[in-house]
A and B are shown apart, each in its own frame.
Chain A
Amino acid sequence: MQTTTQDTPAFIKVRGLKKSYSETIQVLKGLDLDMYPGDRIVVIGPSGGGKSTLLRCVMGLENIDEGTIEVDGKPYIKGQGRTEKNAIDHTIQKQVGMVFQHYTLFPHLTILQNLTLAPVKSRGIPRSQAEEKARGLLKRLGLADKADAQPSQLSGGQKQRVAIARALMLSPELMLFDEVTSALDPELVNEVESVMMQLADQHMPMMIVTHDMWFAKNIATRVVFCAGGVVVEDGTPEQIFSNPKEQRTRDFLEKILHTENAA
């Protein structure tokens, strides 16, 4: 653990998080994680290790079996057993935004409508104000001319930037990114990653799952190696990538860097 952050109160505090999708198979097995103010956490790990599940739990998309998630010291989600509904604070949930691997834009709405639907219809923000903000965001992300296009007319990279803009419309305090470049053609990855770098420059707290180790090194303040439903190792990018303590982390990095070099 980083000694410098020990006495600062955690921004996100995950304790004993357990999640199973069926009675027999537990995916998260009592996961603990602290995110401090200013942290940008990149979660790496083998496929099936529970990275997506972790992010989905933080978003409140999954009903957790056991454990708690706190935000700024306030209870956010509390598991009350596998078959019982979570206690969840929806006010805190509204401060979390998420971007998914497969864009999940609303296919029947224009880009502008995709951005304004939630603010206008669910948050009661005046349409003119929401549209102004949306156009501003689209411009910043290089999509000014796409406001009236349909999602189907966009490239994958553009769709993913729209998905990021859509989440930013709600001024989140924490952004979750689950393999947002994995479905993209290689030449489109950069335009999405550079938007995320922009957000990093503006000190947006982020939790990112990615297989792009180069990007992870650049954007992370902390790297979390997650496997088998727990956090195996947690440290600075320099420490994790050049001097991992755990054998499992070493094996994973060796394998992934090997395949990257081969490709």
Chain B
Amino acid sequence: MSYNVNFLFLLDYWDALLEGLMTTLGITGLCLILGLGLGFVVALLRLSSNPVVKAVTTLYVEFFRGTPVLIQLFWIFFCLPLILGFEISNFVSAVIALTLYMGAIVSETFRSSLRAIEKDQMDACVALGIGGFTKIFYVILPQAILRAIPTLLSNSVSLFKESALVSAVGMSDLMYIGQNISSVTFKPVEMLTAVAVIYFLIAFPLTRSVSWVERKLIHKIAL
């Protein structure tokens, strides 16, 4: 084999990698916040008794869960401008695509946690004369959100990993920087391995914390 594995050269590029990581974390954070809001609203809308609202939101969720994020991203970046008649920057495209993706999976998380609230709780509300706004905001939503937290953590990890796709539209995130360095230095093995390790070092503790958070929450409020 003529390929010499040597990781030491990475030290020369740590600042570029760090910058890429910051971009990755920034876009993940932004889309996480937007996606949580969107998913929450969509979950509530899907419970609506209006058949049109229900159909539109269901279609949205199923479509974005059922198609590759890469295609969604390309479609927004390359095709949508043709329809709209103006350019959409790679940053805006990335944010839209990842937010729509996150919104779809998060809305499913919220939906199942809403459904998991026992009918008992509704009975208690009737018996106590708690209805309308108070029932939704003081009884149902807090429980739904608490129940959703562990799965939302997993959803966030998925978003973090999926965010590597934004490199495909030229966003200089961790993945993109890594690819660039590897093509300049001709060291793809070291570079891609290093990038994978960085993703892993961030995702792994988060994934592990899911079950810990779950146990804590169950202990605290006995879901």
Listed in ascending order, the chain A residues whose CB lies under 8 Å from chain B are: 56, 59-61, 90, 93-94, 96-98, 100, 102, 104-108, 117-118, 121-123, 150-152, 166-167, 170
Add 18 more A-B contacts to A59-B126, A90-B129, A121-B138 (CB < 8 A).
A59-B127, A93-B129, A97-B127, A100-B120, A105-B124, A106-B121, A106-B124, A106-B139, A108-B143, A117-B134, A122-B128, A122-B129, A122-B130, A122-B134, A150-B220, A152-B221, A152-B222, A167-B128
- Rounded to whole angstroms, the CA-CA distance of A94 and B125 in the bound complex is 11
When distances are taken between beta carbons in the complex, the residues of chain A under 8 Å from B123 are 56, 61, 100, 104
Some 17 contacts from A to B, beta carbons below 8 A apart, are A56-B123, A61-B123, A93-B129, A96-B127, A100-B120, A100-B123, A100-B127, A104-B123, A104-B124, A106-B124, A108-B142, A118-B130, A121-B134, A122-B128, A122-B129, A152-B222, A166-B128
Nearest B residue to A154 via CB reads B222
Q: State whether B139 touches A61 (Cβ < 8 A).
A: no
Q: How far is the CA of A94 from the CA of B138 in the complex (A)?
A: 19
Given contacts A60-B126, A61-B123, A152-B219, contact A107 B131 (CB under 8 A): no
Q: Give CA–CA (A151, B129) in the complex, Å.
A: 21
Please give me the residue from chain A that is nearest to B121 by CB atom. A104
- Residues of chain A contacted by B219 (CB below 8 angstroms): 152
Which residues of the other chain, A, contact B128 by a CB distance below 8 angstroms? 97, 117-118, 122, 166-167, 170
* B38 lies within 8 A of chain A by Cβ: no
Query: How many Å lie between the Cα of A167 and that of B128 in the bound state?
Result: 7
User: Cα distance A121–B137 when bound, in Å?
Assistant: 11
The majority secondary structure among interface residues of chain B is helix
Query: CA–CA, A167 to B129, complex, Å?
Result: 10
- Tell me if B146 counts as interface (CB < 8 A to partner A): yes
Find out whether the CB atom of A61 lies under 8 angstroms from the CB atom of B127.
yes
Q: Which residue of B lies closest to A176 (CB)?
A: B127
Q: Is A150 within 8 A of B221, CB to CB?
A: yes
- B223 located at the interface, meaning its Cβ lies under 8 Å from any Cβ of chain A in the complex: yes
Please tell me if the beta carbons of A167 and B127 are within 8 angstroms of each other in the complex.
Answer: yes
Instruction: Give A106 to B193 CA distance when docked, in angstroms.
Output: 49
Q: Cβ of A170: which chain B residues have Cβ within 8 Å of it?
A: 128-129
> Scoring B residues 90 to 133 as 1 if CB is less than 8 Å from chain A, else 0, what string do you get?
00000000000000000000000000000011011011111100
Instruction: Report B-chain residues with C-beta under 8 Å of the C-beta of A97.
Output: 127-128
CA of A105 to CA of B128, assembled, Å: 11
Q: Verify B131–A122 contact, CB threshold 8 A.
A: yes
A117–B143 Cα distance when bound, in Å, is 15
Q: Which residues of B contact A59 (CB under 8 A)?
A: 126-127
Which residues of the partner chain A approach B223 to less than 8 Å between Cβ atoms? 107
Instruction: Given A100-B123, A117-B138, A121-B138, decide whether A108 and B146 contact each other with a Cβ distance below 8 A.
Output: yes
Closest to B143 in A: A108
User: In the bound complex, how far is the Cα of B186 from the Cα of A49, in angstroms?
Assistant: 80
CB distance from A127 to the nearest CB of B (A): 13
